[in-house]
Structure 1
Amino acid sequence: MTEKLATRAEVPDELKWNLKDLYPSDEAFEQAAAAFKEKLKSFGKHEGHVTDSASNLYETFKELTLLINDALRLEVYGQSRNDSDTTNPDGTRLFAEAQSTLITLESSVSFMDSEVSQLSDSRFAAFMCEEPGLKNFQRDIEVNYLRSRGHILPAEQEKILAQTGDMFANGENVFSVLTDADMTLGEIKTNTGKKVELSWATKSIYSESSDRYLRKQADENIRQAYKKLQHTLAATLTAHMKGTVINNRLHHFETAREGELFRNEIPESVYETLVSAVHDHLEGEHQYLRLRKDCLGLKPMYEYDNQVPLAGNPKIKFTYSDSKKIVLEALAVLGDDYLDGLKKEFNEGWIDAAENVGKRAGGYQVDVYGVHPYILLNWSDNYEGLTTLAHESGHAMQSYFSDKNQPSQYTHYLIFTAEIASTTNENLLLSFMLDKYADNKDMKIYLLQKSIHNFIDSVNKQTLYAEFEHDCYQTIESGHPLIAEELSKDYASLRAQYSGPAESATSSEDIHWAWVPHFYYNYYVYQYATSMAISTILADRIYRKVPGALEQYKAFLKAGSSQAPIDLIKQVGVDVTSGQYLDDAFAVLDKRIAELKELLGK
């Protein structure tokens, strides 16, 4: 008999998030959505009058902020109902309604872009003196409106674009439905003869198996599943990227990258510095893979061999219950107030932990101001499950502290800073575990191996993704569609450059690109790499209790988006406009590789 995934109904309530904190029922959600639409109609009274006076400007932004909070609450409920079981038509319907509500919001308030952007600096300064309440919206107005004057269209054109927003978002939706609801990864047979339905969570466990045939089966199943749909997925990605390119061109950006980074206040030089610095340090990854090949005695060695423990599997299991306790211990260094937030997260229905049929793959955190963060996991009883819990808890605690210390318009921090909080937790967990198992050689080897793999996965591989994504956008910008076979060849070529000669390719094509959801997030992936590099430095300082390091970090967590990302990071002692922070982070990687080699006697 094949071991099957649980259905949503079979998952215990204690492993599900509590959506009643948002709305007590689907009917209450529907009522709130209807009430929201009436509020939007009322908001229309501001059109043509936003900048008539300082008080008008203040009242408009105050009302807009409340509308955005309501809309995001609706969105999170709809998204959570959908993502917990993408095969459930009720969840799909509610998510569609929530997305439609957001599109309606964007269309209904789009007149603000042109009206506020036309406000002169001198008149805005006068308004600031007249209306003290505008101080709460100063950064929002300056960054999102006045700074963007050259990239905002006339009101009617902005309204039309806002009304077509669901078309631009449709590529991501199709990808999610196709890969989470309609696609199956097949079955594999374990070494005991048992058939198991493959999922991404079980695949992460099989990746560490000493049974090479099992690892190969799991890898081939996934590649075959995506290859069957490669042309559809290439067309879906083409549609999404075309929408992004069109949207940026219409807003007078020369390239999609320029527009997407501009909105996040990140110079393109930060992106280019990352790619250049990672290329300069690829020898670390090459050295590590040579070490793996030597220790495992594999000729050839493939990508699916990259997570096999080098000193035998220590057979340690991290259950969900035990992992929560470990995370609390590991992050105690961040203080009692941080632990208080974690205990709320673990005990008050913030997390949807168990994997089930139709559940969205992966993990994420999303915050609802005035309620609390929500976390989606697909739990597996291994170190990856433990680190994912620590990672998403980092996001949740940044939201928790931002919500407590900032007005709602400055709580939604940008991704460039968000991934610092999550990966700082990962690095602190690693340091804690290395100390905990200091006398266990095999476990230290296992942990060092996992940390090196995680660094390479977060910095090197995400930079590879960033290069691949940029190549895709340049193809679209040159007027050509994305062709599946060409994408697979391009990805395989980049993979060979990053991994070096120790790892062999199974083919001249690599379908890996097809299962990366972050390619639908518009120049998102590079921020995983910058964040891991930054957090490697910060976590080291915090764990060693460098004077001032914890206080600086706590201030960072509380700041939300109240300052530009680069400025926030400078205040914790890291300058991302220079490549030095990357050199410092790779020095830590080199140290870990050297320590691992010593333990292995190599």
Structure 2
Amino acid sequence: MAKTLPLRSDVKLEETWNLNDLFKSEEEFNSAIITLEKEVDDFVERFNGQIKDAASVNLALKGYAALFEKIVPIGTYTSLASSVDLTDDMAQMRSSKFGSISAKISSKLSFVNSELSELPAEVLEEAQNQSADFKVYLEKVIQKKEFQLHPEVEKTLAAFSSTFSSAYGLYNTTKMADMAFEDFEVDGKKYPLSYVSFEGGWESEVNTDKRHAAFNAFSNKLRDYQHTTAKTYDMHLQAEKTTSDIRGYETIFDYLLFNQEVDRTMYDRQIDLITKELAPHMRKYAKLLQKVHGLDKMTFADLKIPLDPTYEPVITIEESKKHINDALSIMGDDYLNMVNRAYDERWIDFAQNKGKSTGAFCSSPYGNHPYMLISWTGSMEDVFVLAHELGHAGHFYNANRAQNIFNARPSLYFIEAPSTMNEMFVANQMLSNSDDPKFKRWVISSIVARTYYHNFVTHLLEAAYQRKVYERIDSGGSVTANILNDLKRGVLEEFWGEDVEINDGAELTWMRQPHYFMGLYPYTYSAGLTISTQVSKRILEEGQPAVEEWLEVLKAGGTKSPAELAKMAGVDITTEQPLLDTISYIGDLIDQLVVLTEEIEAAE
């Protein structure tokens, strides 16, 4: 049964992350801001109006990079401190204060890209030849030239940056601070409900009456906030559309995909192919769940139940270390050292508490170690989630050491490949440990339900819905709660067909996902998992040589496009074949589940 969440002040210290590695005290944090503001002013005085030739380009970029190395830990500290307790007034005020300071700094520094973009391409190319450090950065400046606005306009836009991003903060405040869930009742007994307990427990609860009651209670509370949340989202969308228009992009999709170094063809293919080709496999999986659990009908509220709930082991944080270490040892000693440091030095926030951000994420500030957030529930699924976040950590642990601050981060299209790769490693390691049909079925169902359902289905359906939203915005429209509900329901009904009833409340799942405030992000999960599925197969078959190639991909950071990074690892994502191969692999896994279930039932 779910428990009422404790206050942040009441959770165990060892289950929280140690932000002192960023700043040891509030005084040190405030001092860093004062120093940063002074250094920004000194930089502006020295370089504003002075970036005129190749030598001054590289000199300015060197100082510019140094400033960003100081901005990153300050911004990271404010966001991480805020994310673990959205009811902490001090953390929220600190975050808001830095948002204003950051906008002011961005406005002051906007001249750098303005002056660079006004230089002839030959000068920028000469600067590239003089210093390899800023070659990639300058290449992007050249590509963006046509979308760069007048320096004063850029300065004004930068000054409004915190205002433009405020919708995301408002969304989180509504979701985590204002939205309080009442207990729900089943057979005269009350059960506590929260965002964390629903997504981490009740959503996959085996007892159908409890699961459905929790789903209804959760949906009813979301419904109370649907209009505010929709208006918040529309604010964000209109800001994106306006920016796209004034910069001269043909569509909002072109604007959002530009920095991802992905064309519309790759984006659309990811959504269209999966919607068409994966749906039959997932409907078969849904029917298997229905059969095993003896459900009269399969509804959206039933899709997260485990195939074999009797085989769901409970695991402690300490016990998870062995599974993680065994699975990720294939990546080598340096990678494993990072994993162990993450546990031992409190890089991970495991605690469940009121006001904590839902889901899981990894933040990897340049020049510092990564930080991971997870709400540990004790289910084996948490091992997959943690392995996923450690994949992000391992990526930037390698990239940040090998590249400068401008070159470390790859395209969003590639960002989920290293994380989902680690989930594959965990699954493969578990499968190699036993031939017991029940255990094999549990592991394979975990891969399907956690790794593929979550990353390939949930996020894919978010992407299909998101595309419809942006098509509406691009044509000059806006969105309301009713419109968003209709769009979401339509996408769910198209994918699941007659095999799954889309019950009331399912349409509100658009309210649960913060990714919608991060541009065209949801589709990248399936893109990343397509790459990692193919590469993990190579590593299993070829061993160390394939591992070494993958480590080089991680170290490359953002110095190459997604297609180039994938090619380094032996995958050609410019064709549909890797995606079709991955969908076929998912289908094979589901077929194995059907066979194993028949085998188990015959033996009972």
* TM-score, with length taken from structure 1: 0.95
Distance in 2 separating the partners of 1:243 and 1:553: 38
Runs of at least 5 residues in structure 2 that lack an aligned partner in the other structure: 600-604
The one-letter code of the counterpart of 2:159 is: Q
Amino acid at match of 1:446: W
Given that 2:360 and 2:389 are in contact with CA atoms closer than 8 Å, whether structure 1 keeps it comes out as yes
Query: By how many angstroms is 1:2 displaced?
Result: 9.3
Residues 542/308 of structure 1: CA separation in 2 closer, same or farther (3 Å cut): same
- Once the 2 structures are TM-superposed, how far is the Cα of residue 264 of structure 1 from its aligned partner? 1.8
Task: Give, in whole Å, the separation in 2 of the partners of 1:69 and 1:431.
Answer: 38
* 1:354 partner SS: coil
> 2:311 matched to 1:278?
no
CA distance in 2, matches of 1:2, 1:58: 57
1:137 aligns to 2:116 (yes or no): no
Secondary structure in 1 aligned to 2:311? coil
Q: 1:363 to 1:203 in 2, by over 3 A?
A: closer
Q: Distance in 2 between matches of 1:126 and 1:413?
A: 24
- What residue identity is the alignment partner of 2:414? T
In the aligned structure 1, how far is the partner of 2:121 from the partner of 2:166?
38
Equivalent runs, 1:45-194 vs 2, <5 Å: 45-128=45-128, 132=130, 134-143=131-140, 145-188=141-184, 193=189
Distance 2:382 2:243 in 1: 38
Shift of the alpha carbon at 1:48?
Answer: 4.6
| Number of the residue aligned with 1:601 | 598
338-347 vs 98-107, which deviates more?
98-107
Letter in 1 for 2:379: N
Amino acid at match of 1:173: G
1:359-413, CA deviations, whole angstroms, 9 ceiling, x for partnerless residues?
A: 1111111112222111111111112211111000000111111122222222223
Provide the residue aligned with 1:420 in structure 2. Answer: 417
Identify the range of structure 1 (91-100 vs 540-549) with the bigger mean alpha-carbon deviation.
540-549
Instruction: Give CA deviations for 1:442-494 in whole Å, capped at 9, x if unaligned.
Output: 23222222211231331133222112112112222323221211211221111
* Count of matched residue positions in the alignment of Structure 1 and Structure 2: 597
Contact 2:292 2:307 in 1 (8 A): yes
Alpha-carbon distance in 1 for matches of 2:418, 2:434: 25
Residue 371 of structure 2: SS of its match in structure 1? strand
2:12 aligned with 1:16: no
Equivalent-residue separation in structure 2 for 1:416 and 1:114 (angstroms): 27
Q: Within 5 Å, give how 1:496-535 maps onto structure 2.
A: 496-507=493-504, 510-535=507-532
Are the aligned partners of 1:369 and 1:403 in contact in 2 as well (CA < 8 Å)?
A: yes
Letter in 1 for 2:95: F
Instruction: Confirm or deny: 8 A CA contact 1:428 1:543 kept in the other structure.
Output: no
Paired with 1:104 and 1:206, the residues of 2 have a C-alpha distance of 44
Give the corresponding residue for 1:251.
247
Match of 1:565 in 2: 562
Counterparts of 2:503 and 2:190, CA distance in 1: 27
Secondary structure at the aligned position of 1:365 is classed as strand
| 1:385 corresponds to 2:416 | no
Q: Is the 8 A contact 2:391 2:419 kept in 1?
A: yes
Q: Compute the TM-score of the two structures, normalised by the length of structure 2.
A: 0.95
More deviation, 63-72/441-450:
441-450
Contact 2:351 2:375 in 1 (8 A): yes
Tell me: CA distance 1:383–1:189, structure 2 relative to 1, closer, same or farther (3 Å): farther
- 8 Å Cα contact 2:124-2:138 kept in structure 1: no
TM-superposed CA distance for 1:296, in Å, is 2.4
Distance in 2, Cα, partners of 1:158 & 1:56: 21
Give the stretch that moved more between structures: 425-434 or 466-475: 466-475
Task: Give 2:602's aligned residue.
Answer: none
2:542 alignment partner, SS class: coil
Report the CA distance between 1:202 and its aligned residue.
5.1
AA partner of residue 528 (structure 1): Y
CA contact (8 A) 2:2 2:193 kept: yes
1:539-578 mapped onto 2 (5 Å cutoff): 539-546=536-543, 548-578=545-575
- Which of 326, 329, 334 does residue 329 from structure 1 map onto? 326
What's the offset of the Cα at 1:526?
A: 0.8
Q: Residues 127 and 413 of structure 1: is their aligned pair in 2 closer, same or farther, counting only changes over 3 Å? A: closer
Q: Deviations over 1:571-596 (max 9, x none)?
A: 11112221111011011101101111
1:438 aligns with 2:446: no
Q: Report Cα offsets for 1:245-274 as digits up to 9, x if no partner.
A: 111111111222111111121111110111
Aligned-pair CA distance for 1:315:
4.1
- Structure 1 distance, partners of 2:443, 2:521, is 28
Letter in 2 for 1:89: D
Structure 2 CA distance for aligned equivalents of residues 127 and 544 of structure 1: 44
**Partner in structure 2 of residue 356 of structure 1:** 353
Question: CA contact under 8 A between 1:65 and 1:408: conserved in structure 2?
Answer: yes
Question: Which aligned segments of 4 or more residues in structure 1 are displaced greater than 4 angstroms?
Answer: 189-194
Work out whether residues 516 and 522 of structure 2, in 8 Å CA contact, stay in contact via their aligned partners in 1. Answer: yes
2:487 corresponds to 1:490: yes
Question: Greater shift after overlay, 511-520 or 410-419?
Answer: 410-419
Task: Identify the residue that residue 265 of structure 2 maps to in structure 1.
Answer: 269
Contact 1:234/1:483, CA 8 A, preserved across alignment: yes
1:286/1:501 contact within 8 Å kept: no
> How many Å apart are 1:192 and its aligned residue?
10
Distance 1:469 1:380 in 2: 30
In the alignment, the residues of structure 2 paired with residue 356 and residue 376 of structure 1 have an alpha-carbon distance, to the nearest angstrom, of: 12
1:188-241 deviation digits (Å, cap 9, x = unpaired): 457894633434245422333321111112212221111101110110000000
Mapped partners of 2:309, 2:523: distance in 1? 33
Q: Secondary structure at the match of 1:418?
A: coil
Secondary structure, counterpart of 2:362 in structure 1: strand
Aligned partner letter, 2:290:
K
1:284 Cα deviation from its structure 2 partner: 1.2
Deviation track 1:546-573 (CA, whole Å, cap 9, x = no partner) reads 5632111111111111222221111111
Q: What is the aligned partner in structure 2 of residue 399 from structure 1?
A: 396
Shift of 1:539: 1.5
In 1, distance between residues paired with 2:596 and 2:506?
Answer: 36
- The offset of 1:93, in angstroms, is 1.1
One-letter code aligned to 2:582: A
Residues 198 and 217 of structure 1: is their aligned pair in 2 closer, same or farther, counting only changes over 3 Å? Answer: farther
Deviation at 1:60, TM superposition (A): 0.7
Please tell me the residue identity of whatever aligns with 2:116. Answer: V
Distance verdict in 2 for CA 1:344–1:312, change over 3 Å = closer
Partners of 2:505 and 2:311 lie apart in 1 by: 35
- 2:367 partner SS: coil
SS at match of 1:51: coil
Work out the CA distance in 2 between the residues paired with 1:403 and 1:509.
40
* Structure 1: 5+ residue stretches without partners: none
Compute the displacement of 1:174 (Å): 0.3
Identity of aligned residues (%): 25
Contact 1:215 1:304 in 2 (8 A): yes
Where does residue 209 of structure 1 map in the other structure? 205
Q: How far apart, CA to CA, are the structure 2 residues paired with 1:95 and 1:313?
A: 44
Instruction: In structure 1, give the amino acid aligned to 2:96.
Output: A
Give the secondary-structure state (helix, strand or coil) at the position aligned to 1:94: helix
Structure 1 distance, partners of 2:187, 2:543, is 49
CA distance in 2, matches of 1:210, 1:564: 44
* Equivalence for 1:316: 313
Cα contact 1:71–1:101 (8 A) shared by 2: no
216-225 or 86-95, which deviates more: 216-225
Q: Distance in 2 between matches of 1:224 and 1:85?
A: 24
> Offset of 1:356 from its aligned partner?
0.6
Distance between the aligned counterparts of 1:181 and 1:453, measured in 2?
30
Distance in 2 between residues matched to 1:487 and 1:509, nearest whole Å: 12
For residue 322 of structure 1, report the CA deviation from its aligned partner.
1.1
